[in-house]
Structure 1
Amino acid sequence: MDKGGLKISVVSSNRNRPIANARIEITYTGEPERIVERLITDENGQIPEIELSAPPIEYSMTPSEYQPYSEYDFRITADEFEPITISGAEILPEITALQTIKLNERSIREPFEVITIPDHTLYGNYPPKIPEDEIKPVDESGEIVLSRVVIPEFIVVHDGSPEDSTANDYYVRYRDYIKNVASSEIYATWPRETIKANVLAIMSFTLNRVYTEWYRNRGYDFTITSSTAFDHKWIFGRNIFDTISEVVDEIFSSYLSRPGVRQPILTQYCDGERVSCPGWMTQWGSKYLGDGGYSAIQILRNFYGSNLYINTAEEISGIPLSWPGYDLDIGASGDKVSQIQEQLNAIREGYPALPKVRVDGIYGEGTQRAVREFQRIFGLPVTGIIDYPTWYRIQDIYVGVTRIAELV
C-alpha cells in the first residue's frame, strides 16, 4: 500500500465560518468500528495534514480492474451543530485530498446527515454522454444568450437528469463546481498538463451551458445537471484533490474557442476505454499524451483540431476587486494594496489566526506575514506574494465571510 494525504476543514454553513474544536473520527468504509484517527479542529476549523493508506499509484495510471483509491468515512460532531458523516471519501496515493465539511446549526429535531460518495466515473458504471453539437445555434426565436462570456459566481446544479423533478438543486460556486467535477472524472495522480487539458474542457463545456442559458431556455431553473448522459458528474459533499485545485485556481477564467465563434466550445469527451467517442477527447488518451510530454493545448488540439485556442472571459461575476495584472510583493503600493489589506482584516474576523494588517497602501513585512498565513490556511503555496491564484482566493473568502443569504 502507498500513502495519500488528507486535510479537513470544518466550517458553518452560515457564512463559512471556521468551527474550532470539532471532533472528527475517521474509519475505513465498511468497517465503522475500526477507527483510524481521532482528531480535533484548530481555531481555523482545520486539522494538520495526515497520511492514510491508499492503493499503489500504478492502479490509477492505466485502466485497471483494481480500485485505485481507498475509501474512508468521516464522522464530524461539534457543539451546537448537527453531526454529519461523509461515507466513501476517496484517498489517492502521493497527493492530498481536501475535504471541506459544512455543518448546520443544531435544530430541535437534531437530524443526523449521512452523505454517501459514489464511485469515481473512471471506475464505476455511468451512462455515456449523449452527443451534442459543440457550437449551439444562438439565433433561434426566444433563445436567451449572454452578450459576452462571464465567469459566474454561482451555478445551479440539478443533482440528477433534467427530467427528474425529485432531484435537488444546489447553488455551487463556479470554481468549487469545476474542482468537484474534475476530481470525479479524472485521477489527480495524472500529469499536470493532462489535468490542465481536462479542466479546460470541463470549464469550456460548463461556460457553454452558462452562455447559451441552455437549460433555462428549456423551462428549467438550473444551469447544469450532474448526469453524465447530459453534462458532467458532480457529487454533493465529495472531497477534491490538491493537484486539481491548484490548476483550477490558476486558469479558472479560461475556456476554449474557435476563430469567429463567440461562445465557449461544448468540449465533450469520454474515457476512451469502455466508451469510444471519435472526434472527442478521451480521458485515458489525454493521460498518455501527458506522459509523452504534450502540453495542455497540444493535448486538446490533438483531439479537437488545430484551430482550437484558449480564451479568457471578459468578466468575473461577484468579485469586488479585479486582478491588477501583476503580482503584489514587498515594495508594492497603491489602492490595490490598501484594498487587499482591508479585505485581509475583514477575513480575520472569521479566521483569527490571521495577523491584523495596517491599512496604509504599502506592501510591507506585516502584509507579507498576513498573506503567508492566509496561503497556509487556504492551501496555497506559501510565498507571501499575491499572485493570480492568491488574489482571487482572497476575493472568494472575503465575499464568503461578508455575505450571508446567498451562501447558506
Structure 2
Amino acid sequence: MEIKNITAMQQDAPDQGKLRLSVVSNTGYAPIQDAVIDISYTGDPESTVEEVTTDQNGQTETLELPAPPLEYSMAPSENQPYSEYTFRVSAPGYETLTISGAEILPDATALQEIRLRPLAPGETIDNIVIPAHTLFGDYPPKIAEAEIKPVSQFGEIVLSRVVVPEFVVVHDGSPMDTTATDYYVRYKDYIKNVASSEIYATWPAATIRANVLAIMSFTLNRVYTEWYRNKGFDFTITSSTAFDHKWIYGRNIFESISVIVDELFANYLSRPNVKQPILTQYCDGQRVSCPNWMTQWGSKSLGDQGYQAIEILRYYYGDNMYINTAEEVSGIPSSWPGYALDIGSSGAKVLQMQEQINAISNNYPLIPKIAEDGIFGEGTQNAVRVFQSVFGLPQTGVVDYSTWFKIQEIYVAVTRIAELNP
C-alpha cells in the first residue's frame, strides 16, 4: 500500500477525530503520571502536532486531530478513511515506546492504551507498527469452516457449558507459524481490538452490535470447542484473517465500539438445540464474496436502513439465529446483582462495590474515597461517575451492567498488583 506524503495527507484531512491516551505500567495496572507523549503524522516523525502529559490517572485530555472526510468510511473507497499518527511516549524510569500507524477516524474518539516496561540496562526504544485496517489493507480471506463443530467423544472433550473467559491466548500469526508470539489478552480487550480492526467505528450502532456479536460468537466457539488446543496448540485463537479474526498488537480502539462491547460481552449467537456458540463467519462483501455469511459492508447498508442488530444477523444467517447469554463470566469476584445500583440502593452488593471502588482509588487517586456503609448515597454516586469518566464509560453515576463488570475487571487488576507488591 502506497503511503501518501504528509502534505497530501494534511490536505485530505478536513474533518476532525478525537483521541484520548492512557499510560500504565505493563508490570501491573498502575497508571503512570507525567508521561510525555509526542504526536506526529506517521511518515513524518519530525512533524510534532501535539505534545501532552498524563495526569494522576495516567491519562491525557481528549485531543482533536485532523482526519479524512467522513464519507470515506461510509462506503467502499480507494481513499484511506483514517489518518495515521505516531506516538512517542517517555516517562522517568520506563523505556521509551513508539507506536506508529494509530488510526484516527472523523467523528469518532480513538482510545490508545500504552503499556510501558520499567527501564532495564541496555534498553532504549521499543517500536510498535500498526498495519492497515482490514477493510483498507490487503489480507487473506477466511478459509470456510462448518459453523457447528462436531463434538468428539474421545480424548479432550469440549467445555460442558459456555463460559466467558477472563483471558484468551492470541497466536499472532497463522497456526503453523512457530515464530509467532502468543499474547495473553483480556477477553473484552480482545473483542474491542478485533472489532476496531475489522469494521469502522463511524458505522451505525446496530451494525457495530451485529458485528461485535458475530466476533464474540466466533471467538467463544473457539473457546468452547477448545479448537486449537485439541489440535495440539497452546493458544485459543490466531490473528490470521485466513483462520480467525484480525487482532493487532498495540493498536488503538474506538470508544463507540468499546461501549457496545462492554454492553454485550457476555452474549453470543446460538441456534435451537445447539449447545455451542455458532462459528459466525463473515467477509467484507466487496473484495471477497461469501454467500450465507454476513458481509461487513452489507451489514453497514442494513444499519443505514434502520435494521436492528438481530435483524441484520438473521438477514445473513437465517431466522433461527438467536442471541444467548453465557452461563458464567470468569475472573470476577462478585456476580452482577441483576439490577442497576443507584441512589437509594443498599445492601451487600452496594458494600462490595464501595470496597472495590476504594481499592481502585488507591491506584487512581482522582476517584474519591467513599464510606463503606452499604448505602448508595451522593458520595458513592460521585465516585462512580468519576470512575466512569476514567475508564471511558457513560458518566451516569449509576452502576449498570457495563459499569459493574468494569469495576470487577479493574478491581481484580489493581488487587493483583497489591499481591505482587506486598
Q: What's the TM-score once normalised by structure 1's chain length?
A: 0.99
**TM-align CA RMSD:** 1.2
The 8 Å contact of residues 16 and 102 in structure 1, kept in 2 or not, is answered as: no
Does 1:21 find its partner at 2:24?
no
Distance 2:252 2:133 in 1: 12
The 8 Å contact of residues 83 and 112 in structure 1, kept in 2 or not, is answered as: yes
Structure 1: which 4+ aligned runs deviate by more than 3 Å? 404-408
What SS does the aligned partner of 2:60 have?
Answer: coil
Distance 1:362 1:151 in 2: 30
Deviation of residue 109 (structure 1)? 1.2
Q: Which residue matches 1:125?
A: 138
Q: What is the identity, as a one-letter code, of the residue corresponding to 2:307? A: Y
- 1:198-209 alignment runs, 5 A limit: 198-209=211-222
What SS does the aligned partner of 2:298 have?
Answer: helix
Q: Which residue matches 1:377?
A: 390
Q: What is the identity, as a one-letter code, of the residue corresponding to 2:238? A: T
Per-residue CA deviations over 1:371-393 (Å, capped at 9, x if unaligned) read 01101111111111100111111
Pick one of 367, 380, 404 that aligns with 1:354.
367
The 8 Å contact of residues 160 and 226 in structure 1, kept in 2 or not, is answered as: yes
How many residues are treated as equivalent by the alignment? 408
Q: Which residue matches 2:258?
A: 245
Distance 1:87 1:406 in 2: 34
Per-residue CA deviations over 1:21-67 (Å, capped at 9, x if unaligned) read 00000000000111000111000101110100000000000000000
Q: Which residue matches 2:208?
A: 195
Q: Which residue matches 2:335?
A: 322
Per-residue CA deviations over 1:138-162 (Å, capped at 9, x if unaligned) read 1342233000000000000000000
Q: Which residue matches 2:20?
A: 7
Does 1:300 find its partner at 2:313?
yes
Q: Which residue matches 1:65?
A: 78
The 8 Å contact of residues 40 and 47 in structure 1, kept in 2 or not, is answered as: yes
CA gap of 1:286–1:275, structure 2 versus 1, over 3 A, is same
The 8 Å contact of residues 193 and 296 in structure 1, kept in 2 or not, is answered as: yes
Does 1:344 find its partner at 2:357?
yes
- 1:4-403 alignment runs, 5 A limit: 4-403=17-416
Per-residue CA deviations over 1:302-326 (Å, capped at 9, x if unaligned) read 0000000000000000011111111
Distance 2:60 2:156 in 1: 48
CA gap of 1:122–1:406, structure 2 versus 1, over 3 A, is farther
Distance 1:144 1:231 in 2: 21
The 8 Å contact of residues 15 and 402 in structure 1, kept in 2 or not, is answered as: no
**Gap regions ≥5 residues in structure 1:** none
The 8 Å contact of residues 156 and 169 in structure 1, kept in 2 or not, is answered as: yes
Q: What is the identity, as a one-letter code, of the residue corresponding to 1:363? A: F
Distance 1:171 1:332 in 2: 37
Q: What is the identity, as a one-letter code, of the residue corresponding to 1:307? A: N
The 8 Å contact of residues 71 and 88 in structure 1, kept in 2 or not, is answered as: yes
Distance 2:117 2:331 in 1: 24
**Gap regions ≥5 residues in structure 2:** 1-13
Q: What is the identity, as a one-letter code, of the residue corresponding to 1:70? A: S
Deviation of residue 404 (structure 1)? 4.1
Q: What is the identity, as a one-letter code, of the residue corresponding to 2:364? A: Y
Distance 1:404 1:262 in 2: 37
Per-residue CA deviations over 1:162-203 (Å, capped at 9, x if unaligned) read 000000000000000000000000001000000000000000
CA gap of 1:94–1:218, structure 2 versus 1, over 3 A, is same
CA gap of 1:152–1:407, structure 2 versus 1, over 3 A, is farther
What SS does the aligned partner of 2:19 have?
Answer: strand
What SS does the aligned partner of 1:403 have?
Answer: helix
Distance 1:400 1:103 in 2: 16
Distance 2:99 2:420 in 1: 21
Distance 1:222 1:144 in 2: 16
Distance 2:289 2:156 in 1: 32
Deviation of residue 112 (structure 1)? 1.2
Distance 2:416 2:237 in 1: 24
